[in-house]
């Protein structure tokens, strides 16, 4: 039986592309490229720190990735501008259907389980107005690992007493789908761009824009682990999916 | 005192871009895009498998990444063509200066320490003719982890009795530089494209080609760990670097 709906934050409830307004204002014409490389390196650095056994919090990871990005592109930001850009991760725009989806979930516990640091998550959730719609915000920080390390997902049982099989985990991030599946969660993947739409974009652009390359790397079902149990194209479809799961006869395990 | 020169394989001794002839012959016009996405996902999947505690060997990782790449691009390969493309990782072209550099290293032990599976490494090294120039080929497989997990680098001491401070580790891969530094190796980074040359490419292409995006993501010094002790622009500069290190007075530790 499902007792809790657990959300990834960055890319799932909050749109990481929403930093592009600020990155483009800071460096006109470079906004999308900065946005994509920054996010790709942010993810990579979280995995590398975790693998090296050298955890630093996601705020440091976010800053390291921004430093790499600006340096690689040959762009110079003074400390004030650098901080202003980095801080956009604490004011990401929630996806437009996030609030309504959370409101329509009925009596389930709602939680975030994120790689973000406690401060980052408090800031972005508070800024979005989603805070009153969530029962818990769980940061990997207390475990000093990053998803998809299984210990990160163990937070849900540790802190809310909800076992993996009692949760529906919701993420748009393929690595997170694999990680959550690997520890026994039921998982809904948000597939915001269909394989066909992505292929059309790739075929119509020569060469593809950085934003399309980003989608090619990050928006499709990964093949390094089990696929999600369900796919939805936006958070708006989540309440119906949750109702369908509730009506499902108990599965033989 | 340096006793051994230890090389990364993929991207350092062997050119991962050399698969592009086969990928482009299989899917004309898509060769470079396949090559870049395939390599990016291959690295990502190695880290994700390691982080999830679900090690599979690098041959499976390589195949999973190729499956993702072709699927994302909407390209279909039958089993024979798929295998033919995947097998190119076992016949990668060595960089043109690799053999001469290995020959010019004097009396140091020379080893590969790679994420590749034992079979993959035996194949690619044998095919290249570098096998007679190497004293040892160390695969992470026996540890069931991937670089940059510290246990992977421990292979050198386990198998050759060479302590980290007695080795010069040579890699073009930024994550590998950080990983090797984090366990105490002296590290030389091969910087095959300078920051200036990369910026010029990025500025002259709008949007940048997938090959340039790849370089922007993978060819520069990472900012998630300590930088290399030395940078060289190609393997041809390695013998002189090694001689300079040998002449260096012992460092206070």
B177 contact residues in A (CB cutoff 8 A): none
In this complex, which of B213, B223, B225 lies closest to A210 when CB atoms are compared?
Answer: B213
Active site residue A8: yes
B73 contact residues in A (CB cutoff 8 A): 199, 202, 216
- pLDDT at residue A250, rounded to an integer: 57
Tell me if B202 and A74 make a contact (CB, 8 A cut-off).
yes
pLDDT tens track for B58-100: 999 999 999 999 999 999 999 999 999 999 999 999 999 999 9
Tell me if A68 and B175 make a contact (CB, 8 A cut-off).
no
As a whole-number percent, the residues of chain B with pLDDT over 70 amount to: 98
- The catalytic position among A8, A15, A149, A176 is A8
pLDDT tens track for B182-211: 999 999 999 999 999 999 999 999 899 999
As a whole-number percent, the residues of chain B with pLDDT over 90 amount to: 95
Rounded to the nearest angstrom, the gap between the alpha carbon of residue A117 and the centroid of all alpha carbons in its chain is 13
Tell me if B51 and A48 make a contact (CB, 8 A cut-off).
no
Distance CA A96, CA A116 (A): 21
Distance CA B222, CA A40 (A): 13
Distance CA B107, CA B95 (A): 22
- pLDDT at residue A51, rounded to an integer: 98
DSSP one-letter string for B203-225: HHSSSPPHHHHHHHHHSS--SSS
- Domain boundary assignment for chain B: 4-15+91-245, 17-90
Tell me if A48 and B225 make a contact (CB, 8 A cut-off).
yes
Closest of B33, B86, B115, B47 to residue A40, by C-alpha: B47
Tell me if B71 and A150 make a contact (CB, 8 A cut-off).
no
Q: Give the mean pLDDT of B228-237.
A: 98
pLDDT tens track for A187-232: 999 999 999 999 999 999 989 999 999 999 999 999 999 999 999 9
Nearest chain A CA: its distance from B92 CA (Å): 23
A196 contact residues in B (CB cutoff 8 A): 74
Model confidence at B247, pLDDT cuts 50, 70, 90, reads confident
In a 3-state reduction of DSSP, which class is residue B189?
strand
Residue of B nearest to A75 (CA): B199
In this complex, which of A52, A150, A196 lies closest to B182 when CB atoms are compared?
Answer: A52
Nearest chain A CA: its distance from B68 CA (Å): 6
User: To 5 degrees, how large is the angle CA B194–CA B196–CA B201?
Assistant: 95
Model confidence at A252, pLDDT cuts 50, 70, 90, reads very low
A222 contact residues in B (CB cutoff 8 A): 45, 48, 68
Tell me if B37 and A216 make a contact (CB, 8 A cut-off).
yes
Q: Give the mean pLDDT of A12-34.
A: 97
- pLDDT at residue B253, rounded to an integer: 43
In a 3-state reduction of DSSP, which class is residue B146?
coil
In this complex, which of A53, A74, A182 lies closest to B199 when CB atoms are compared?
Answer: A74
Nearest chain B CA: its distance from A58 CA (Å): 12
- pLDDT at residue B106, rounded to an integer: 85
Tell me if B223 and A64 make a contact (CB, 8 A cut-off).
yes
CA distances from B118 to A41, A102, B65, B84, B175 (A): 29, 49, 19, 19, 21
CA distances from B72 to A47, A134, B167 (A): 23, 34, 41
In this complex, which of B52, B61, B195 lies closest to A150 when CB atoms are compared?
Answer: B52
- pLDDT at residue B171, rounded to an integer: 98
Domains B4-15+91-245 and B17-90 share a fold: no
Tell me if B208 and A208 make a contact (CB, 8 A cut-off).
no
Which run of H or E residues covers position B14?
A: strand B14-15
Tell me if A223 and B67 make a contact (CB, 8 A cut-off).
yes
CA atoms within 13 A on the CB side of B85: 27
Distance CA B133, CA B129 (A): 8
DSSP one-letter string for chain A: ---EEEE--BTTTEEGGGGHHHHHHHSTT-HHHHHHHHHHHHHHHHHHHHHHT----HHHHHHHHHHHHHHHHT----HHHHHHHHGGGGSPEEPTTHHHHHHTSTTSEEEEEESS-HHHHHHHHHHHT-GGG-SEEEEGGGGT--TTSHHHHTHHHHHH---GGGEEEEES-HHHHHHHHHTT-EEEEE-SS-HHHHHHHHHHSSSPPHHHHHHHHHSSPPSSSPPPSEEESSGGGHHHHHHHHHHSPPPP-
- pLDDT at residue B252, rounded to an integer: 47
Q: What is the CA radius of gyration of chain B?
A: 18
pLDDT tens track for A56-99: 999 999 999 999 999 999 999 999 999 999 999 999 999 999 99
* Average pLDDT score, chain A: 96
- pLDDT at residue A106, rounded to an integer: 85
What 8-state DSSP symbol labels residue B149? S
Domain spanning B4-15+91-245: CATH superfamily: HAD superfamily/HAD-like (3.40.50.1000)
Residue of B nearest to A52 (CA): B149
- pLDDT at residue B61, rounded to an integer: 98
CATH topology of domain A17-90: DNA polymerase; domain 1 (1.10.150)
> In the numeric block, which tokens belong to residue A115?
């790689």
Test mutation, A43, A72, A181, chain B, max B CBs within 10 A: A72
CA distances from B184 to A189, B153, B228, B250 (A): 40, 10, 11, 16
Residues 6 or more apart from A114 whose CB is under 8 A from it?
A8, A9, A10, A121, A137, A138, A139, A140
Does pTM top 0.95 for this prediction? yes
Q: Give the mean pLDDT of A25-38.
A: 96
| A113: pLDDT strictly greater than 90 | yes
- pLDDT at residue B246, rounded to an integer: 84
């Amino acid at each position: 039986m499902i007792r809790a709906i657990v959300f990834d934050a960055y890319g799932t409830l909050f749109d990481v592309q929403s930093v592009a307004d600020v990155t483009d204002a800071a460096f006109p014409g470079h906004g999308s490229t900065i946005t994509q490389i920054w996010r790709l390196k942010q993810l990579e650095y979280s995995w590398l720190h975790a693998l090296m056994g050298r955890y630093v919090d996601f705020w440091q990871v976010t800053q390291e990735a921004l430093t790499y990005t600006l340096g690689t592109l040959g762009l110079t930001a003074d400390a004030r501008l650098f901080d202003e850009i980095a801080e956009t991760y604490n004011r990401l725009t929630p996806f437009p259907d996030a609030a309504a989806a959370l409101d329509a979930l009925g009596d389930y516990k709602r939680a975030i389980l994120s790689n973000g640091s406690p401060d980052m998550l408090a800031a972005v959730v508070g800024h979005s107005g989603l805070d009153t719609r969530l029962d818990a915000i769980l940061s990997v920080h207390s475990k000093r690992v990053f998803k998809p390390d299984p210990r990160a997902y163990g937070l849900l049982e540790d802190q809310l007493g909800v076992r993996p099989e009692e949760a529906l985990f919701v993420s748009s991030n393929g690595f997170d789908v694999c990680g959550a599946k690997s520890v026994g969660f039921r998982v809904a993947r948000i597939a915001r761009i269909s394989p066909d739409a992505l292929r059309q974009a790739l075929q119509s652009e020569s060469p593809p824009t950085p934003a399309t390359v980003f989608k090619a790397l990050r928006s499709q079902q990964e093949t390094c682990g089990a696929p999600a149990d369900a796919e939805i194209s936006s958070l708006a479809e989540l309440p119906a999916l949750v109702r369908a799961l509730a009506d499902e006869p108990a599965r033989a395990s």
